[in-house]
Structure 1
Amino acid sequence: MYALEINHFLRSKGAMGGLALLLLVGCLSLLIGRQFVAKQQQAQAEIARFQREHIERNVRYHQDEMGLLLYYLRFTLVNPNQPLNALSIGQRDVQNSIQSVTIRGLENQKYDTDLHNPMNLLMGNLDFSFVVIFLFPLLIIALTYNLLSEEKEEGTLRLVATQARSTLFFLLRKMSIWMLAVFTVLLLLLGIAVVALKLPLGNTTLAFVVVAGLYLFFWFALSTWVISSQRNSGLNAVALLSFWVLLTLVFPAALNAYLINRYPVPEALNTMIQQREGYHEKWDLPKAVTMDKFYTHYPEFKKYPLPDKTFSWLWYYAMQQMGDDESQQAALELKHKLQQREQATTVFAYFSPAIHTQLAFNRLAAADLQQQLQYWEATERFHESCGCILSPHFENTAVKTEKWDSIQVERFAVVVEINWSVMILPLVLITLLLGSLGLWGLKKI
């Protein structure tokens, strides 16, 4: 009987066509992810050459004044892509992975990002996480919505039930064939990804596979629960599609609207404006006022007194730093609001498998908001280190005496932490709940 069911499934043009289409779209998503990562890695590889040429060019043009040279020099911190970025792009397409900063005010530079086509941002990316979260459930719905109702509507349920151990056993056997087909496509795509994208066979890749598998199990459990109500095929299809729309479209949109209103984030532009206003107003204040605040912030620089002349680069960069200091409260508020949104999203995601799965994919790929906030903090530390290293050379230092070729592109150390219980427990619990309800309903047939 099992062989007959498999043979019947293989002869189903609709089922095989759906599997083939999903396999094709999955391969396309892997190609898109590969192209995205390749583009990012190429830019990150070329930035070292660009920075070297940039420093050499400016050193050649500004040999007479160290302060003016430091005004133009840019130093780069790279946020390297992780292998799983090809499977889940996350926020990597809208956030910079390369941050080149001067030692001037940071808040005026930190939120700079590349220009993007707004239509591309609106449509999003057809990456592999999109295929898993949105398209695989549609195929599961198409395969399972009439698992029971088809037999009842054709009047064959009693006949097949007499040939099987029980009606429940027959339905589970049929469901297992659908599951085998869907998971075969998933594992085939993941196998292609491991080979084509050179994914490391480590904990992050394993976690990605486990989360994807549990998410598909959830949809099979949901389908089992819906069909156990013994409605006709049309109602089953409408119910399952309604759940798909609710879980993948409506609830994420509603959550986003709630978070925007519950945790309004101040515009980064406001922080930049405060920084610039804080800097510009220092031109009209006595130098001693600025320098006193600067020396309070950096007591180690008190050994570099302010020269007795109209303009000093030490004073100029002190004004820039004071602009950052005076916009610090706005910057902290922006960061705090974003952290609140991230924490609230994580909590709400426990009750939404689609959101939870997307967050898990993005975190495993180091492409979520939390990772971007960590990169911002690393940029702040990087900017601070650049200023502290170069500040002593503001006055009376010959440009040619410095070892400019020793300045290299820095790389942010990305750390992906895997909390297995938090990652898989919500999916396991809701799958067990719906699966149990579905089996209990099917037992009563």
Structure 2
Amino acid sequence: MKYKLFLYQCIRSREVLLSLALLIALGLLGIFIGNRHLNERQDAIEEVKTYQEEHFERHVSLHNDDLGLLLYYVKFAFINPADPLAGLSIGQSDVNPSIKRITIKTFEAQKHDTDLINPMNLQSGNLDFSFVLIYLVPLLVIVFSFNAVSEETETGTWRLVATQTRSKLGFVITKLSVRLLLIVGVLIFLFLAAKVVFNIPFNSVFLVMFILSVLYTIFWFTLCFFIICFKKSSGFNALMLLSIWLVLLILLPAGINAYLAFKYPVPEALGTAIAQRDGYHTKWDMEKLPTIQKFYDHYPQFEKYGYPTEGFNWLWYYAMQQMGDDDSRNERESLNSKIQLRERHSAQFASWLPNMHLQLALNQLAGTSLGQHIDFLEATEKFHERLRLFFYPKIFEENLAESINWERFPPEYYRENFDIRPLRLMAPLILAILFMVLISAPRGRRL
């Protein structure tokens, strides 16, 4: 009966209904933006599938007698298909391309090629569902909770509550739990809407994403409970909670990002580009024999094609291209190591900040994290190597382009091996909730 009265009291408030309606509207807008993002990615994939076949046919007709020249131009598509959950958490997939179209030339020069993107759009970012969940849901929790006790005190009804209820602590917890149920109900509606719009299968990943969202909401209610237990004024509670929101969601993440950028600078990014370019371009002014010898050191199985050093030949040219990758290996490995260190330490910091942890967890579940993009690039490099090993003998033996079955090279898809560990993802949020409950308990008893 008590729950019904609290629920009726909440829903008859225009401010509460307006806040819930606004959250639903923004959540649906985030789902719409995520759906547009997924549609754009899918349209790009369909265009690539159609274009690649025409691309092969055109170049084979133009360069049938010169396979080396044909493979200078021909590009092969390697696709990272979008998970439907990426519509909920776009992450870095709007910056990092999901389609790599590469030639068999030096890979490092093509590795970080990306799509043309309006920088103004990147600056403003996407109002996807994860943004609504991480940044706006806590604000709604604060609006619902900041005066849960102070309102009773300021209106003079707290003494009446104290005499008529068995437990003042139970009264406050019940009041907050009703508000929690309202927000969880909105989350259920939004997740169901996303399931329908994105055609998301009802699997463990989707369920874990929902549970993480609920745990994050509970954390903010426990934080609000801790503040209101001090029995300060409504103005003090609101100011304190908004200050905490600002520190947790804006200042600390920005500070951590700046610290990691300072501690792990990446001058290797420029060094890799320079080493790759020098590794290739300087070979034009050098003797051919050392370049070919280095190529055979990398691929001893091709040494049977000899050491042609007179005039231009494709063996020497693609050996130069290979040197672009080989000469930049040290810088590339150092760069990858720095990026992995940043990712690892970001995850460690995030385990202490529920908002950062939730963002990283949602991106990981949706397949839109930076670490997963690095895995995609590594898979692309292996795809590139397979192409080289297949085509190098054809080029060196001067085969005709029409002798190759080009239909065996449709766009290839990347398959991610993702091992979901629900308890590891939930643990930081659960521990944060327990911590807030423990430090709130002494003051809660004094109510």
Tell me the SS of whatever aligns to 1:438. helix
Tell me what 2:72 maps to: 71
1:77 touches 1:379 (CA, 8 Å); kept in 2? yes
Q: TM-score, normalised by structure 1?
A: 0.98
What secondary structure is seen at the aligned counterpart in 1 of 2:192?
helix
Bigger Cα displacement from structure 2, 262-271 vs 421-430: 262-271
The Cα shift of 1:369 comes to 1.0
> Is 1:294 aligned to 2:292, yes or no?
no
CA contact (8 A) 1:378 1:412 kept: yes
Distance in 1, matches of 2:3 and 2:27, equals 29
Q: What is the rounded CA distance, in whole Å, between the counterparts of 1:92 and 1:314 in structure 2? A: 37
Cα shift at 1:267 = 5.7
Question: Contact 2:289–2:309 at 8 Å: present in 1 too?
Answer: no
Q: Aligned pair 1:229/2:230, yes or no?
A: yes
Paired position in structure 2 for 1:261: 262
Deviation per CA, 1:12-35: give whole Å up to 9, x if none: 111111001000110110011011
Tell me the CA shift for residue 82 of structure 1: 0.8
CA distance in 2: counterparts of 1:127 and 1:161, whole angstroms: 44
1:412 is matched with which residue?
A: 414
Superposition deviation, residue 410 in structure 1: 0.8
Q: After superposition, what is the alpha-carbon deviation per residue over 1:140-185, rounded to whole angstroms, capped at 9, x for unaligned? A: 0000000001101111011122222221121111111101111100
Give matches, 1:102-251, under 5 Å: 102-251=103-252
Amino acid at match of 2:417: V
Counterparts of 1:65 and 1:305 in 2: how far apart (Å)?
Answer: 19
Quote the residue 1:440 is aligned against. 442
Equivalent residues of 2:275, 2:327 under 8 A apart: yes
Aligned position for 2:316: 315
Q: Match of 2:52?
A: 51
TM-score, normalised by the number of residues in structure 2:
0.97
Q: CA RMSD in A?
A: 1.2
For residues 399 and 188 of structure 2, what CA distance do their matches in structure 1 show?
A: 62
Structure 2: segments with no counterpart, 5+ residues: none
Separation of aligned partners in 1, 2:419 and 2:46:
26
- Report how far residue 406 of structure 1 moved: 2.0
CA contact (8 A) 2:91 2:363 kept: yes
Matched to 1:246, the amino acid is V
CA–CA separation in structure 2 for the residues paired with 1:159 and 1:147: 15
Check whether the contact 1:104–1:320 (CA below 8 A) recurs between aligned residues.
yes
Pairwise CA distance, 1:86: 0.3
For 2:9, the aligned partner's letter is H
Report the equivalent of 1:279: 280
Instruction: Out of 352-361 and 2-11, give the one that drifted further.
Output: 2-11
Distance 1:79 1:170 in 2: 52
Counterpart CA distance in 1 for 2:7 and 2:312 is 84
The offset of 1:269, in angstroms, is: 4.2
Determine what percentage of the aligned residue pairs are the same residue: 44
Give 1:190 deviation, angstroms. 0.5
- In the alignment, is the contact (CA less than 8 A) between 2:268 and 2:334 conserved in 1? no
> How many residue pairs are counted as aligned between the two chains?
445
Give per-residue Cα distances to partners, 1:111-142, cap 9 Å, x unaligned.
11112111211111111110110000000000
Contact 2:79 2:98 in 1 (8 A): yes
Does the C-alpha gap of structure 1 residues 122 and 308 become closer, same or farther in structure 2, counting only changes over 3 Å?
Answer: closer
In structure 1, distance between residues paired with 2:194 and 2:152: 38
Greater shift, 14-23 or 304-313, is seen at: 304-313
Instruction: Give the Å deviation of 1:414.
Output: 1.6
Secondary structure at the counterpart of residue 91 of structure 1? coil
| In structure 2, distance between residues paired with 1:109 and 1:341 | 23
What secondary structure is seen at the aligned counterpart in 1 of 2:304?
A: coil
**1:432 partner letter:** L
User: Match for 1:338: what amino acid?
Assistant: I
Once structures 1 and 2 are overlaid, which stretch shifts more, 259-268 or 219-228? 259-268
Distance 1:308 1:242 in 2: 71
Runs of 4+ with >3 A deviation? 267-270, 306-309
Task: Give the Cα–Cα distance (whole angstroms) in 2 for the partners of residues 417 and 125 of structure 1.
Answer: 27
Distance 1:252 1:225 in 2: 23
Aligned to 2:3: 2
Contact 2:268 2:332 in 1 (8 A): no
- Range 98-107 or range 302-311, more displaced: 302-311
Q: Does 1:423 align with 2:425?
A: yes
